[in-house]
Structure 1
């Protein structure tokens, strides 16, 4: 997949790596390379924006591929981002409301990266936006809530919107429970069991599956 792909511009690599987030550089590069390929099939969409680290990788690829990234998030943080949880960052709490609010940080990161023309933020819950969404996707990235409920419903609400020949990317896939939560792994298993997807790439906890059939992804 990566043999002749153009490298990500160094200034955008720096922008991505400096943004708050949980995407290791190798996985970020894999997202960029994957989006270069599947961005030519259709637009990119990610569920789970946080502060825009992955959006910079995707935005760089979207510009190169001649498409756009749509990034969907309510910007109040997933369960694991709340106070008292492992991934809580108090600097992202709105002092007026006392709630997590990652939107200002995201906007600054995308502006500084110069990607406002190819990164489109949709502010709302994944479920609500999915009900209104009719455009077929070249790539869907699931990286929102990591509970069984939210990861599962993101798959149920969005997977059928991927074009045949497009891709499903899933982050934080840990086959061994000792390494992390199991909800994304269960989504990964479900996608493969449906017969609609085949695995194309593994990079750390990132899995890339290509949609190879118009079989309903929810059959399993």
Structure 2
């Protein structure tokens, strides 16, 4: 594995569904993870393209472990039933790449997961690519067009499928929540990567501007190509 290059990895990883993780983003992610080995946390994994990139960076460096946090359609104990099982897809990809020894998934929401993270365990690299709104609280209402687009059949709760319009889970979510809950766990000298810094996702941009650009606690390493990278002082 030591001789495997990023291009070798990309040839396979590019086929994993991920509309917002093109090659140039994946290469930045791989390089940053390779240069900052240790405890890596990913918020938002989807089908696993970024998980595969990060996991392979760990394998190549020979140091560290990746912890992936995503709901994978799970909403506070109520599983979203879709035509495509994203949770199974992620697991299949990790197994395909034989990354089980260096990658551990946690199927839960960011806020709840952060509270359960060991207080004495610091993070070397945090990659935030979760809910892209700035902050939302309250019921999650799925637009009718999304129900059709994603083939959502309903929510599985206590073994019963409940139509999506009849079940509206309540929880806090957003890029601000992810940052507030997880960034304090990064060690000094550790690195934060915030994905999707562009006008399509003003919530992510707002977090970057408020928490990184306006702060003396961070040194900005990159803030272009839709990726923000900062080192904690």
Q: Give the TM-score taking structure 2 as reference length.
A: 0.74
Q: Runs of at least 4 residues of structure 1 off by over 6 A? A: none
C-alpha deviation, 1:15, in angstroms: 2.7
Is 2:179 the counterpart of 1:155?
yes
SS across alignment from 2:72: coil
- Higher strand residue share: 2
Are the equivalent residues in 1 in contact too, given 2:41–2:125 (CA < 8 A)?
yes
Is 2:29 the counterpart of 1:31?
yes
C-alpha deviation, 1:186, in angstroms: 1.1
* Structure 1 CA distance for aligned equivalents of residues 14 and 68 of structure 2: 18
Are the equivalent residues in 2 in contact too, given 1:15–1:56 (CA < 8 A)?
no
- Where does residue 145 of structure 1 map in the other structure? 131
- Where does residue 214 of structure 2 map in the other structure? 193
From 178, 182, 201, the equivalent of 2:202 is: 182
RMSD: 2.3
Alpha-carbon deviations, 1:71-116, whole Å to 9, x = none? 10010189xxxxxxxxxxxxxx97xx34874110101111112212
* Structure 2 CA distance for aligned equivalents of residues 9 and 30 of structure 1: 10
* Structure 2 CA distance for aligned equivalents of residues 20 and 107 of structure 1: 14
- Give the 3 Å change call, closer, same or farther, for CA 173–7 of structure 1 in structure 2: farther
Are the equivalent residues in 2 in contact too, given 1:26–1:203 (CA < 8 A)?
no
* Structure 2 CA distance for aligned equivalents of residues 37 and 49 of structure 1: 21
Task: Give unmatched runs, 5+ long, in structure 1.
Answer: 1-5, 79-92, 213-220
- Where does residue 74 of structure 1 map in the other structure? 71
Aligned residue pairs: how many? 186
* Structure 1 CA distance for aligned equivalents of residues 124 and 54 of structure 2: 12
